[in-house]
Chain A
Amino acid sequence: MTRRPSSFAIDVPDALLARMRQGERSAFEQIYRWFERPVFTLALRICGEREQAADVLQDTMLKVIDRIGEFRGRGGTEGANSPFWGWLRQIAVNEALMALRRRRRPGEDGDHLDDIDAIDERTPPPPAAADAARLQRALETLPANTRTALWLYHAEGYTHDEIGALMQRTASFSKSQLARGSRRLRELLEPTVTAPSLPSLREAAHG
């Protein structure tokens, strides 16, 4: 399965990175402008609250400013082992997950593991998923952990192992959340159709 590139995948010229390392304010502002929306969107998908997502955006950018001296990679995406955007995205994910952990209330964990059914993961989404507004509303109704796993896997291209580690859980937890999330999204996007049976899903998966 080919994945679309992350919205973070922006080439940052090495000259701009050098200016940032020298503490040049305009360079930081440039980076803020470029990454404001990708960071905010990621934080919103994880936290689910706009104000909290804005706080995550601010904290992420402040961390970038404080730690730019520690970044040893390159700015571009081509041929760079650790592009700047990947480093920045990692900070954003950590900050968002930290905000989520701080806010988490008892019963919100969703720690119990579902039976993992890979079919859910591979089955194409229903046609209604092309309706961005409906898909967005459906995403908002999911529990935070489920939404986070879905977003990190499908939109940002993280692996189950990486998601499990980031969420301080296991790869199985990530798979379970993904299966649950995909199933739930399908139900939400096709509310008039009862949940499809396993054989029909298999049929759909294999064309």
Chain B
Amino acid sequence: MADASRDPTPSGWSDAFAVLPLESPPASRWPQIAARLDAPHRERKHRHWLALAAGLCALAALPLAWTLRDAGKQGQNDSSAYGDNTVIATPRIDPPRAARVGPVVEAPAEHAASPSSIAVAQAPTASAADVEPAGRRDARRERRIATTTTGAETASASSDPETAAVASEDAPSPTLESLYAASTQLETLLALTRDTRVESGPAAALAGALDAELATIDAQLAQPGLEAMQQRALWQARVDTLRHATDFETQQRVLSAQGRSYEGALVRVD
């Protein structure tokens, strides 16, 4: 306690604050920092090569995707070649998103202008179903997936007033407070679900990419002078990324409990 008789009145708040003793943390955080200092070197190097390998795989698959896309366009002209419900598999450029939702399918070109034409493959392949079990999706994603499974369904969905009503439910933007709360909850959940001891190589690369995405958003949020709209958009992006990361980690745990891994789902294009 300060000796009030020696220094009765501080000349300003600055002086008063300056004599407050420095606080010490309840426990030193150096052990945790040191652990990360050792691990990240190996991990980062490891993840770097894996990310590079994943990128090369994606690049190698692009010509195939373009060929299939061209074939799809031709098939659109020649309806005997492809039916209305034909979906063409294309790898997405963004590796984290591609992997977190499994193989991505694109609807026939007539629906390409619609944002809903990029849909998550659900029923057609067992792998996709494995990657995204229904029980692990939230209601909104489930609705979105249900309305965008195939081109034909997309077409019917766009004209279906009930579906339109569902889409309009997504329209109101959440408040910043609800985004803060969701972010906190998801971050806690992510910390609970993440287990780097059972991570496979590609999964570690993907988790690293999601972390990097999150770090980018955090860095943008830390910029001064952000408008309210920008803040909301960034916090929404943060919540979305955390949700994807949580989904991904949960899937990993489920697959690992079943003795399987994510790797097949990551590279499969069907």
> How many cross-chain pairs have Cβ atoms below 8 Å apart between A and B?
141
0/1 string, A1-27, CB within 8 A of B gives 1: 111100100000000000000010100
0/1 string, A38-50, CB within 8 A of B gives 1: 1011001000001
Contact A1 B23 (CB under 8 A): no
Partner of A132, one of B1, B184, B187, B231: B1
For chain B, give the interface size range: 35 or more
Within 8 A of B (CB), among A37-66: 37-38, 40-41, 44, 50-51, 53-54, 57-58, 61-62, 65
Measured CB to CB, the nearest residue on chain B to A167 is B224
Contact B4 A127 (CB under 8 A): yes
Contact A50 B2 (CB under 8 A): no
Contact B2 A102 (CB under 8 A): no
Contact B37 A25 (CB under 8 A): yes
Q: Does A131 contact B (CB under 8 A)?
A: yes
With contact pairs A25-B34, A168-B225 given, residues A155 and B17 touching in the complex (Cβ less than 8 Å): yes
Kindly list chain A residues whose C-beta atoms are within 8 Å of the C-beta of B125: none
**Dominant secondary structure of chain A at its interface with chain B:** helix
With contact pairs A1-B14, A7-B22, A132-B19 given, residues A54 and B33 touching in the complex (Cβ less than 8 Å): no
Kindly list chain B residues whose C-beta atoms are within 8 Å of the C-beta of A154: 12-14, 16-17
Contact A36 B25 (CB under 8 A): yes
Within 8 A of B (CB), among A113-161: 124-133, 135-136, 150-151, 154-155, 157
Partner of A65, one of B3, B27, B37, B183: B37
Q: How far is the CA of A182 from the CA of B146 in the complex (A)?
A: 57
Q: How far is the CA of A33 from the CA of B183 in the complex (A)?
A: 32
Measured CB to CB, the nearest residue on chain A to B24 is A37
Contact B180 A41 (CB under 8 A): no
Q: Does A94 contact B (CB under 8 A)?
A: yes
CB distance from A139 to the nearest CB of B (A): 8
Partner of A125, one of B4, B13, B41, B221: B13
Contact B16 A1 (CB under 8 A): no
CB distance from B11 to the nearest CB of A (A): 6
Kindly list chain B residues whose C-beta atoms are within 8 Å of the C-beta of A61: 29, 33
Q: How far is the CA of A126 from the CA of B13 in the complex (A)?
A: 9
Kindly list chain A residues whose C-beta atoms are within 8 Å of the C-beta of B1: 131-133
Measured CB to CB, the nearest residue on chain B to A156 is B17
Q: Does B9 contact A (CB under 8 A)?
A: yes
Measured CB to CB, the nearest residue on chain A to B8 is A127
Contact B14 A127 (CB under 8 A): no
For chain A, give the interface size range: 35 or more
Partner of B184, one of A54, A102, A125, A155: A102
CB distance from B194 to the nearest CB of A (A): 16
Q: Does B10 contact A (CB under 8 A)?
A: yes
Kindly list chain B residues whose C-beta atoms are within 8 Å of the C-beta of A130: 2-4, 7-10, 16, 19
Contact A131 B4 (CB under 8 A): yes
Kindly list chain B residues whose C-beta atoms are within 8 Å of the C-beta of A195: none
Within 8 A of B (CB), among A172-201: 182, 185
Q: How far is the CA of A65 from the CA of B30 in the complex (A)?
A: 12
Q: Does B93 contact A (CB under 8 A)?
A: no
Within 8 A of B (CB), among A56-114: 57-58, 61-62, 65, 94, 97-98, 101-106
Q: A25-B37, A37-B23 are known; give 4 further A-B pairs, CB within 8 A.
A: A38-B22, A131-B4, A132-B20, A164-B224
Report, nearest first, the 3 A-B pairs whose CB atoms are least far apart: A165-B224, A4-B18, A37-B22
**25 examples of A-B residue contacts, CB within 8 angstroms:** A3-B14, A7-B22, A28-B33, A36-B25, A41-B20, A44-B23, A53-B25, A54-B27, A57-B25, A62-B33, A65-B33, A97-B222, A104-B177, A129-B10, A130-B2, A130-B3, A130-B4, A130-B19, A132-B1, A132-B20, A136-B20, A154-B12, A155-B18, A165-B224, A166-B224
